[in-house]
Amino acid sequence: METPYAALVKEWQAGRFRPVYYFVGEDASARNEAATALKAAVKPDGFNLADFSGDLAGGAAAVISEAMTLPVFADRRLVVVESPKLPAEARSALAAYLQSPNPSTTLVLFSEERKLDPRDSLLKAAAAAGAVVLFKPLREEEAVARLQAEARRAGKTISPDAAEALVAEAGTDWAILKQELEKAALFAAQAPAIGPEHVAACLGYQKSVDPFALPRLVQSRQLKAALAHLQRLFQEGKPDDQAFRALNQIGSAVQKQLRAKRMLRAGRSESEVFSALRLHSYWDRDYLPFLKRISEARLRRDLGACLEAEVSLKSRSWLSAPQEIERLVVDLCSR
């Protein structure tokens, strides 16, 4: 059902375009970048481009009308619907249109859903008529690698330490990282490579919530920072969805600590633990020293608390998921 974005870029470069593209995922900057790349490939003028954004309630008819319109003195028309939250009626109407889409129009639809739901009729219709692309948030190591690749394309290099520092400070949102990389490159104009000092000198971003920071904060039992991070998460998306995602991350983090503790007790070396658990030399440099201060009994108790929270939320629908996750974090980080 999912099509790799890189494969679509090759099609666009060859001048081949599908009737619909459904851009799904939490990475809003990646969705926007893909739409920009598609516009650059199609090159529509003002008569053959229609952009829809904001609340689409009652607007599906207008989108379909634009999509059914023939291009004006051109081969193709481009219609982009940037509203990531489509009402049920709009989704049904668009799915019906995609049963027999206008072949001379390319329709782009955005969705901020984290996963591809096979029960989604619009998703099925888009996959059958065109392509579905899932844009997941960059992981820290992916963000570092992408920074290095982007620097090379710009004729510069960025040291691993500088790239890691930039991700550590700015998060993994690619739009922010790319902007900060461009500024760092200006600071390092006469230097052979972009170093940490150039990154430190130019950071001026509006930081977004790093989706991978919560496990690190819980692993190091930083109560105040973890609660503040949760509040930002709840504000950025649907609170219940964010809460269940946070619960999964917290449980996995504690389980990984327990596994590491048992490996060390069994005589495994620190390098073996790092390799087996895929720990990072920079992000997890304090992982094992901190772990030595926590007993295995405490970790078993903490994992049990995570499981109890999951059972409670799944069996008691009246509970507030965000409140329960906050209560769990207080429990884990206060002892």
Q: Which helix (H) or strand (E) holds 257?
A: helix 239-265
pLDDT surpassing 50 at residue 13: yes
User: What is the Cα 58 distance to its own chain's centre?
Assistant: 29
Give pLDDT tens digits for 97-117: 999 999 999 999 998 887 888
* Single-letter code of the amino acid located at 192: P
**If pLDDT is split at 50, 70 and 90, which confidence band does 122 have?**
very high
Give pLDDT tens digits for 15-40: 999 999 999 987 888 888 899 999 99
Give pLDDT tens digits for 150-171: 999 888 999 988 898 888 777 7
Among 77-81, 170-174, 308-312, the least confident range: 170-174
Rounded to two decimals, what is the model's pTM? 0.59
Q: What Rg value do the Cα atoms of the chain yield, rounded?
A: 23
As a whole number of angstroms, the distance between CA 274 and CA 281 comes to: 8
List, in order of start, the domains of the chain with CATH numbers.
Answer: 5-134 (3.40.50.300), 140-202 (1.10.8.60), 213-334 (1.20.272.10)
pLDDT surpassing 50 at residue 206: no
* Farthest CA pair distance, the chain: 73
Give pLDDT tens digits for 228-238: 888 888 887 78
Looking at every residue in the chain, the average pLDDT score rounds to 88
Region of 267 (left: φ > 0; alpha: ψ -120 to 50; beta: rest) is left
Residue 59 burial (10 A CB sphere; 0-12, 13-18, 19+): middle
**If pLDDT is split at 50, 70 and 90, which confidence band does 324 have?**
very high
As a whole number of angstroms, the distance between CA 283 and CA 280 comes to: 5
Q: Taken in order 35, 32, 82, 21, is the CA torsion positive or negative?
A: positive
